[in-house]
Structure 1
Amino acid sequence: MKTVKRRDGFAGQQLISLPDAVWKNAIKANTVLSQLYITHIGYFPKAAFHFRDRKNGCTDNILIYCTGGKGWYEIGNRRFEVGVNEFVIIPATSSHLRYGSDDHHPWTIYWVHFSGKDMDTFNRNFNIGPFDGPRHIHANENGIELWNDMFQSLKMGFGKDNLGKASLYLYHFIATFVYPDKVSGEQDAINDRINETIRYMQQQVASTLTVEDLARKIDLSPSHFSSLFKKATGMSPLNYFIHLKLQKACLLLYTTDMKIKDVAVAIGYDDPFHFSRLFKKSMEVSPERYRGLRRKGNI
């Protein structure tokens, strides 16, 4: 029986891909973000038959950290094996690039695609080359914590504060691999009440909520709540809620074949035309076009 290779769809996987428009708009607001930013981030546990074949290489750097099983990658005509507690940073390249899990002992990997305005200089200064091969590292708990911080920041929405936070975490995350003995595990404190509200928004993404509903949830007046929320996130509560709805729509468009009207209903919009206009205004592409982008290379 022929084995079917696949690029994703593994039990327990976590995956976020950011549309180009998200970073384009964020960089307009804060040009510092152009230095280094996440384009895709994921976790694939026991990724049996994982395989990617990038004939034209990849425009991003790819960091893969293997915490279980085995895998491999090929760039040009060179092949490398990757084992437990080994990582590789594959620099952006136009060379043919392939990678995948071992057939008998599939790898478990944390991975991040990242890019920036001058990756050639970045890679040169940090001695990242295409044929460096994997490097061993002691169990990188700090790195995994920071991966979770990046993922949770982006999962909370694509607002400017979350993108900025994820971008700063990315520097620290990379440092845990490049300079494993020179980083600390300290993290910023989180505003519990705002975080609780955001989690509630995520749970109610198919509903209609008012500022009064959200303020009542954490025992604040609507005006005080709105002021605190905007100070913490840079967005009004309702705009943030819309942002979470659209992020959920992105996920459904990326991972399912649901009809556009059904995606709209799933995030609380009965009118698919209103949803499409809102989506295009925010993401700069239509829902149909965004869905087409998922056919392009993601890990």
Structure 2
Amino acid sequence: MAVVYNPKAEPSLHRGAHIPNDVLTRLKKHRLGKPFHLVSAGYAESWQGHYTKRDALGEHIVIYCAAGKGFLETAHGTWDITPGMFLVCFAGKPHTYGADTATPWTIYWSHFSGTVSDEFITLAGLDERMPVITVSDHGAVTARFSEMLSLFTGDVSIAHTLHAGTMLSSIFTALACGRTPSAAFDMGSIVTYMQRRIRGNITLDECASLSGMSKYHFVRLFRKHTGYAPVDYFIRMKVQHSCVLLADVRKKIIDVARETGYDDQYYFSRVFTRIMGVSPRAYRKRLS
């Protein structure tokens, strides 16, 4: 697979998770995972300079543009991508995509595969000649992607990865019905707020006020959507972001701690170890 990308492209905020190879191998053999499963997923904000060109890839890619602009180019044409557009790059087919120079996009993305993955794409009305669709309910889609990412925060078990896959498949089936999933509780805006504060702190009062709910009602609905209390979810989001930063061996652990809002390196290490099961230093060694 030949691939060209811009190594200098840096989003202002990035969260990403890849399913470990051993879990992915088991998923491909699992009765529930073999038909449809995720390979990776992520979120990138204002991705200046983002550019990727591939001859082919072994799995499908979906990208949802939440803000800004970008483009998609395939053998069948070129599409300008704007907020609310959902696109598919087909497995085994050449494709090029990237951010607009003046207004770089903010995107949610996922790589997925499985024996029925093609059928989900077709069901949604997408094909190689028209791989782009506009979604009517932005909040609902961002909520699904946010839930998908939350399932990777500290746990990549078979059950969690299968459940994450249902978040994506539900978007495809909703598109097939001509609607997007209900989003009476706008999870997407809450998570976006948290993502913007990843280097600092938040309070429960702030989040409840943003949702327009009482603290009690907000916590109950947030836990129902994510399985975590809001502050615990935010801490896990910080740890997931620190995992991305730790992949850069040039960064000292104290710098990673500060970039995720922790002035005390040792406190950061304790929080990281509690959630990930290994220390930041051990996690970094595992990546090498």
Report the TM-score range of the alignment, normalised by the length of the smaller protein. 0.5 to 0.7
CA drift of 1:144 comes to 0.8
Cα displacement (A) at 1:147:
0.8
Percent of pairs with identical residues: 19
State whether residues 45 and 108 of structure 1, in contact with CA within 8 Å, keep that contact through their aligned partners in structure 2. Answer: yes
Residues 1:52 and 2:52 aligned together:
yes
Within 5 Å, which residues of 2 pair with 1:163-202?
Answer: 163-181=161-179, 183-185=181-183, 190=223, 195=228, 199=232
Show the counterpart of 2:19: 18
The 1:178–1:45 alpha-carbon spacing in structure 2 relative to 1, beyond 3 Å, is farther
Which residues in structure 2 correspond to 1:1-299 (within 5 Å)? 5-6=6-7, 9-26=10-27, 28=29, 30-54=30-54, 56-76=55-75, 78-93=77-92, 95-181=93-179, 183-185=181-183, 190=223, 195=228, 199=232, 251=244, 255-257=247-249, 287=286, 291=288
Q: Structure 2 vs 1, CA of residues 49 and 25 (structure 1 numbering), >3 Å: closer, same or farther?
A: same
* Secondary structure of the corresponding residue to residue 126 of structure 2: coil
Pair 26,61 (structure 1): closer, same or farther in 2 beyond 3 Å: closer
Shift of 1:151: 0.6
- Is contact 2:66–2:83 with CA below 8 Å preserved after alignment? yes
User: Does the Cα contact within 8 Å between 1:64 and 1:89 map onto a contact in 2?
Assistant: yes
How far off its partner does 1:173 sit? 2.8
Q: Secondary structure at the match of 1:146?
A: helix
**Once the 2 structures are TM-superposed, how far is the Cα of residue 148 of structure 1 from its aligned partner?**
0.9
Code of the aligned partner of 1:75: T
Query: Which is further off, 180-189 or 105-114?
Result: 180-189
- Partner residue in 1 for 2:200: none
Q: Offset of 1:117 from its aligned partner?
A: 2.5
Q: CA deviation at 1:161?
A: 2.8
Deviation at 1:50, TM superposition (A): 0.8
Q: 1:195 to 1:101 in 2, by over 3 A?
A: closer
Q: Which runs of 5+ in 2 are unaligned?
A: 186-219, 257-265
What CA RMSD, in Å, does the superposition of the two structures yield over aligned residues?
4.1
| Partner SS, residue 117 of structure 1 | coil
CA distance in structure 2 between the partners assigned to 1:182 and 1:11 by the alignment: 28
Equivalent position amino acid for 1:141 in 2 = G
- Retained in 2: the 8 A contact 1:88–1:133? yes
> Is the CA contact 1:91–1:128 (under 8 Å) kept in the aligned structure 2?
no
TM-score, reference length from structure 1:
0.61
For 2:138 and 2:241, how far apart are their aligned partners in 1? 31
Measure, in 2, the Cα distance between the counterparts of 1:99 and 1:137: 19
Q: 1:57 to 1:178 in 2, by over 3 A?
A: farther
| Letter of the structure 1 residue corresponding to residue 63 of structure 2 | I
Question: Which residue is 2:213 aligned to?
Answer: none
Number of matched residues?
Answer: 229
Conserved 8 A contact 1:49-1:100: yes
Cα distance, 1:61–1:101 mapped onto 2, change above 3 Å = same
Unaligned runs of 5+ in 1: 206-243, 280-285, 292-299
CA distance in 2 between counterparts of 1:21 and 1:249 reads 22
**Corresponding residue number in structure 2 for 1:295:** none
- Conserved 8 A contact 1:140-1:176: no
Displacement, 1:42? 1.4
